[in-house]
Every structure is written in C-alpha cells, then in structure tokens.
Amino acid sequence: MAMTHGSPPVVDIGIPTRGRAMYLAEAIDSVLGQTLADVRITIGENGSGSSSVAAAVAPYLSDPRVRHVVHGEDLGAAGNFSALVQIGEAPYVALLHDDDRWSPGFLERRVEFLKANPACGLVFSGCYVIDGGGAVIDVWEATLAHGVHTPQTFLPAMYDRNLIPVPTVLVRRTAYEAVGPDFSDELLFDDHEMWLRLGSRFDVGCLPDLDASYRVHGDQTSVEHGHGLGRHRLALQDAVEALLPPDVSRDVPRRARSAAHMHAAADAMESGERASVVGHLGQALVRHPATVVSPAGLRRVLLILLALVPGKTGARVWRARRDRGRRLAAAGG
C-alpha cells in the first residue's frame, strides 16, 4: 500500500535514540521494508543531537515518510518514548528501539488484528533475541496464550513480570489517549507500567508470530537488569495495584508484593544492610507465605542467607546466581 500524500499514515513509528547510530540504519530499513508502506517514521533524538546520528539518518530524509526530531534536551528514555507516542496522527502507534528490527509483515499482521478486534488496545508477540552481528541467540516466547485477553486474564499474568517485548507492540492511538501517553520515568522498566495501564482498560492481543528481533550487545545503554530490582518492583506495586479489576483475586497483588520484598531482601544483602534483609524477608512471608515456602522461594531465601555468612563462599555463590539471572533478564528485555 503506498502512502497517500497529504493524508495521515496508517502507522506512526517512533525510533528513540541518543547519539547511537551503529544499528540505526538497520532499524529504519526494517520499517521501510514493511509490506504495509503507509507509515511515518520519526527518529527522536535525546539531547542536542549528534553528528553520527545525523549522518546515519541523512540518506533517508529524502523519503517523505522519514523525519529526524532532535529534542534539544535530555528527556530520558521514558520521556523520549512519551514524546514519540504523541507525535503524529496515525490511528496506530509503534515504538522500535534504535538497535532492534522487524520482519517485513510485522505491521500488516498487527494492523489487521486490531481492525478485526476493536476491543483490543494493543497487540504483541514473542520475538527473536539477536546479538550484535544479527545472529539469533535466543527466543523470547510469548508466555500468554495466543488470542485476545481481557483485563481479567491479562493483568494477573502481567502484574509482577513484564511479558511484552517493546519492539513487538502496536497500540491504538485512542488507547494511549485514554490512559495517558506518558511512560513512567520512576520505574526500572518504564514500559511495564504502561502495558498494565492499557491492559486495565482494553483487551490485549497476543500473536504467535516471531517477526521482531530484540538485540543484546555491548553498546546498550539500558539500565542494568537486576540492580535495585526489589525497590522498583515495590514502586510498581504502589503504582498499579489500583488498576486491578474488582473481580481479580486479591491473591494477585499479595503474591506480587511478596516477590518484590524477596527481591528487595536481595538488594539489601548486596548493600550490606543486614537488618533490611530480615525485614524484607519477614514482609514477604507475611504478604504471601506460599511465595516464600515454595521450592523457588526457599532456594532464594537460602542463597540470601548463605551470602550473609562470613567468608567468601556464600557471597561467591550468590554473585554467580545473580549474574546469571541478569544475563537472562537482559536477553528478555
């Protein structure tokens, strides 16, 4: 489908960046290579602009579908997301990291799905995980059943863990307008809270297709996964607990808050705050005993307590497990 001059495109795509041009052309090419060509691409650059990004974008600016916006100040990652969501008039909005990419039918499949399911505010899928050279190193599977999920089924599954890779998402503009387009800059994973807000007001679609690639490489500027995770998980519970529909079991927030206290205990252990370790473990047990006494919970408690034992053995075991968890989290987005 060709873009009609003077009319709004079908999809607005925002590509956030900050002085990082290494994979930017690959991301842009993956959008321009879509089977749905009626799009508008906005490369939103944080800060005052860089020559490397300008050089990478320059060959594309002769295409009326591509524009480069330099914000002139550092909006932060969440602020850049928010600004890009609000730019444009297309009925559908997508965000693509400057180092990720789409397969050719990505947009067409999602637009068709949202047109066929008017109650859905967003649609997502799993994706490939690729390395700096573009080789597939893992698959981030969509752990929700394929199809349409109501708030009653989506929120409990999504409440305490982010199942949605950003580069796989297409959102209705009216859905963003209904919940507010601002991504939170106070949380470790700014997109998680947004998906929960959208999922509390609209149905959510999950597709079986693996038609996006999330890149893991040494030049990433995202936060270190796992660092301060407990504090951020507790903040997330404060932000989203009110979103749960009244007919969702109260066990959901209790379980999530218990897990957040377990992570906070691990944070406190790494910081050497022994009293806080005990306090958070106690809160985890009070909030949801089954979380703590489950096999996985008991293993975590034992590792935390082992790391507090004087000597190097316990701390070494903890660090090895922590570092492995962070690598897996980084691969998952």
Which CATH number characterizes residue 59's domain? 3.90.550.10
Q: What is the pLDDT of residue 251?
A: 79
Domain membership flag for residue 6: no
Domain membership flag for residue 3: no
Domain membership flag for residue 248: yes
Q: What is the pLDDT of residue 1?
A: 39
Q: Tell me how far apart the alpha carbons of residues 123 and 207 are, in angstroms, rounded to a whole number.
A: 7
Q: Tell me how far apart the alpha carbons of residues 49 and 40 are, in angstroms, rounded to a whole number.
A: 21
DSSP state of 286: H
**Domain check: are 74 and 167 in the same one?**
yes
Among 215, 243, 264, where does a domain finish?
215
**Domain check: are 200 and 236 in the same one?**
no
Are 61 and 68 in contact, with CB atoms under 8 Å apart? yes
Q: Count of residues for the chain?
A: 333
Among 215, 246, 279, where does a domain finish?
215
Greatest alpha-carbon span in the chain: 70
Q: What is the pLDDT of residue 189?
A: 58
Q: Tell me how far apart the alpha carbons of residues 274 and 234 are, in angstroms, rounded to a whole number.
A: 19
**Domain check: are 208 and 253 in the same one?**
no
**Domain check: are 171 and 284 in the same one?**
no
Range of the domain at 57: 11-215
> Exposed/middle/buried for 48, CB within 10 Å: 0-12, 13-18, 19+?
exposed
**Domain check: are 179 and 328 in the same one?**
no
Domain membership flag for residue 4: no
Q: What is the pLDDT of residue 316?
A: 62
Q: Tell me how far apart the alpha carbons of residues 327 and 194 are, in angstroms, rounded to a whole number.
A: 24
Domain membership flag for residue 203: yes
**Domain check: are 260 and 182 in the same one?**
no
Q: What is the pLDDT of residue 239?
A: 66
**Domain check: are 151 and 236 in the same one?**
no
**Domain check: are 265 and 317 in the same one?**
yes
Q: Tell me how far apart the alpha carbons of residues 206 and 29 are, in angstroms, rounded to a whole number.
A: 25
Are 56 and 25 in contact, with CB atoms under 8 Å apart? yes
**Domain check: are 199 and 302 in the same one?**
no
Are 171 and 122 in contact, with CB atoms under 8 Å apart? yes
Q: What is the pLDDT of residue 327?
A: 46
**Domain check: are 207 and 270 in the same one?**
no
Tokens standing for 27? 């991301």
**Domain check: are 137 and 41 in the same one?**
yes
* CA distance to 144, 165, 333, per residue, from 162 (Å): 11, 8, 9
**Domain check: are 94 and 233 in the same one?**
no
113 CB contacts (<8 Å, ≥6 apart)? 120, 123, 205, 207
Among 182, 215, 248, where does a domain finish?
215
Q: How many domains does the chain have?
A: 2
- Residue reference for tokens 């999920």: 149
Q: What is the pLDDT of residue 55?
A: 96
Tens-of-pLDDT digits for all 333 residues of the chain?
A: 344 446 789 999 999 998 889 999 999 999 999 999 999 999 999 988 889 999 999 999 999 999 999 999 988 888 899 999 999 999 999 999 999 999 999 999 999 999 999 999 999 999 999 999 999 999 998 889 999 999 988 988 887 677 899 999 999 999 999 999 888 765 445 688 899 899 989 999 999 999 999 998 765 544 444 456 666 677 777 766 777 777 767 777 788 788 878 878 887 877 778 788 888 888 888 888 888 888 888 888 887 877 777 655 555 655 665 555 554 444 444
Domain membership flag for residue 224: no
